[in-house]
Amino acid sequence: MTAPFPHTPTVILLVEDEPLVRMLGTDVLEDAGFLVVEAMDAQDALAQLEAHPEVDILFTDVQMPGELDGVALARIVHDRRPDVRLVIASGRARLEPQDIPDNGRFVPKPYRPDELVGVMREVLA
């Protein structure tokens, strides 16, 4: 007997300007059962967010080209879609909880695949 409502995978919008890092993050998250929508910068991420209302988590790097960094992107996403959970990563910046809207999470780079998956599961709990 099948369940009346099949499980819908969590959708993560992954924003990373480095193609290899973006591909690795996508592979790790997809292997863990998440669906991933990729964006290469904040402007692309905002367009993807509009195109994909099913996004559950924004996972963004802090430093990226363009007018908006990852923290500014997180603030905009929080204002537009307060239902989207926020995870911000950086290898250079160190953010405090008050720097991220709505109790978002910070992940220092480099991160291990199991750490990344664990953080995503924690923000969903």
Q: What is the 3-state secondary structure (H, E, C) of the chain?
A: CCCCCCCCCCEEEEECCCHHHHHHHHHHHHHCCCEEEEECCHHHHHHHHHHCCCCCEEEEECCCCCCCCHHHHHHHHHHHCCCCEEEEEECCCCCCHHHCHHHCEEEECCCCHHHHHHHHHHHHC
CATH of the domain at 65: 3.40.50.2300
The answer to whether 48 and 93 are in contact (CB under 8 A) is: no
In a domain, 5, yes or no: no
d(CA 38, CA 102): 22
What is the total count of domains within the chain?
A: 1
Name the pTM for this structure: 0.91
In a domain, 98, yes or no: yes
In a domain, 3, yes or no: no
In a domain, 30, yes or no: yes
In a domain, 1, yes or no: no
Parent domain of 23:
11-124
In a domain, 52, yes or no: yes
Residue-wise pLDDT for 52-109, tens only, equals: 999 999 999 999 999 999 999 999 999 999 999 999 999 887 877 778 888 789 999 9
